[in-house]
């Protein structure tokens, strides 16, 4: 019975995935965009054609092909330019990734650019209130730094705590036809929307889980905002014992979180390694 239901479900999914759909978007005064998804390209996948046409002549100017599950298509005006955005999800056993791309008219040509290719969430927000939205997403990178006399490296995830509010934000601004990571130029936003929340978590007496990583992350982000002294003062007020291993001496060394971060603060500000990430511009 269960097997029959499973096969029936797969058949229905296959049938619905094969269904043809077409939608036309009004991009700007000169061009319209036709989006079609009809071709089967694997389990729960679509083959998507994005066709740019001249409104007057109906002439095809450009065709872009994508594979995945189409999520959203929309036009947004940034810096007096109308961009056509679209998002596609890859699916997959690990949850997949969401791709955000956009079409732009530059020097008379249609260009297709990648903004994000990541499992991270994103939203459009006018952070600096200048009339142009920025893209706020999450930093999902893993960084590490080497510690002298330590046989291992110490790493820390930027997506500390598995709560969206505690992810280090990335803020992308639209500049000269491309999106640029200008996260640390938005000091007030990072302070209010990230560091303030992280401070509350680190202040909890019962806070134990990966506490050194939380304090390192707090110091790293604060230093990028020019707030090194403030960060060290906060860490000192909420100091905790910490033990790390010296491989040369083959023994554990007792210290504190504050002393450890203060000693290796230069290595923490400029990590030596960066894990490859799909969250890229």
What distance, in Å, lies between the first and last C-alpha atoms of the chain? 48
The DSSP code sequence of 26-66 is E-SSSEEEEEEEEEE-STT-EEEEEEEEETTT--EEEEEEE
Average pLDDT over residues 153-167: 50
| Per-residue pLDDT at 279 exceeds 80 | no
* b (16+ CB within 10 A) / e for 72-81: ebeeeebeee
User: In the chain, pLDDT over 70 holds for what percent of residues?
Assistant: 69
pLDDT for the residue 235? 95
pLDDT for the residue 165? 53
**Cβ pair 242, 256 in contact under 8 A:** yes
Average pLDDT over residues 203-216: 71
Give the residues across from 40 on adjacent strands: 46
User: Of the candidates 181, 152, 179, 154, which has an alpha carbon nearest to the alpha carbon of residue 168?
Assistant: 181
Most confident of 121-130, 136-145, 238-247: 121-130
At 11, the pLDDT band (50, 70, 90 cuts) reads very low
Average pLDDT over residues 104-127: 89
pLDDT for the residue 3? 35
Better-scored residue on pLDDT, 196 or 140: 196
**Cβ pair 158, 143 in contact under 8 A:** yes
Domain 1-119, what architecture? Beta Barrel (2.40)
- For the chain, the domains span 1-119, 122-281
| Per-residue pLDDT at 160 exceeds 70 | no
Mean pLDDT of the chain: 78
| Per-residue pLDDT at 164 exceeds 70 | no
Can you tell me the distance from the alpha carbon of 235 to that of 229, in angstroms, rounded to the nearest whole number?
A: 10
| Per-residue pLDDT at 179 exceeds 70 | yes
Can you tell me the distance from the alpha carbon of 179 to that of 281, in angstroms, rounded to the nearest whole number?
A: 7
pLDDT digits (tens, 9 = 90+) for 35-82: 988 655 455 557 889 999 999 999 999 999 998 888 899 999 999 899
pLDDT for the residue 182? 93
Give the residues across from 255 on adjacent strands: 242
| Per-residue pLDDT at 103 exceeds 80 | yes
Average pLDDT over residues 3-13: 37
Chain Cα centroid distance, residue 109: 28
Average pLDDT over residues 173-202: 91
| Per-residue pLDDT at 10 exceeds 90 | no
pLDDT digits (tens, 9 = 90+) for 211-262: 677 888 889 889 999 999 999 999 999 998 887 766 666 777 788 989 988 9
């Amino acid at each position: 019975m269960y097997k029959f239901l499973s096969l029936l479900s797969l058949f229905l999914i296959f049938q619905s995935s094969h269904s043809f759909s077409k939608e036309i978007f009004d991009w700007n005064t000169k061009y319209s965009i036709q989006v079609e998804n009809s071709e089967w390209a694997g389990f729960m996948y679509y083959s998507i054609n994005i066709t740019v046409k001249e409104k007057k002549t109906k002439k095809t100017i450009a065709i872009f092909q994508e594979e995945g599950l189409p999520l959203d298509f929309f036009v947004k005006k940034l810096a007096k330019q109308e961009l056509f955005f679209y998002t596609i999800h890859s699916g997959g056993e690990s949850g997949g990734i969401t791709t955000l791309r956009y079409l732009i008219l530059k020097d008379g040509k249609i260009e297709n650019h990648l903004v994000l290719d990541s499992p991270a969430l994103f939203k459009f927000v006018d952070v600096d209130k200048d009339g142009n939205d920025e893209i706020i997403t999450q930093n999902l990178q893993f960084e590490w730094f080497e510690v002298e006399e330590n046989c291992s490296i110490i790493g820390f995830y930027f997506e500390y705590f598995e709560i969206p509010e505690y992810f280090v934000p990335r803020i992308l601004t639209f500049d000269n036809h491309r999106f640029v990571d200008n996260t640390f130029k938005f000091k007030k936003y990072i302070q209010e929307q990230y560091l303030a929340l992280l401070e509350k978590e680190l202040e909890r007496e019962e806070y134990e889980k990966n506490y050194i990583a939380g304090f390192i992350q707090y110091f790293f982000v604060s230093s990028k905002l020019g707030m090194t002294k403030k960060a060290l003062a906060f860490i000192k007020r909420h100091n905790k014992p910490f033990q790390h291993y010296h491989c040369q001496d083959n023994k554990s060394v007792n210290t504190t979180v504050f002393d450890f971060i203060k000693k290796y603060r230069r290595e923490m500000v400029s990590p030596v390694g960066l894990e490859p990430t799909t969250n890229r511009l």
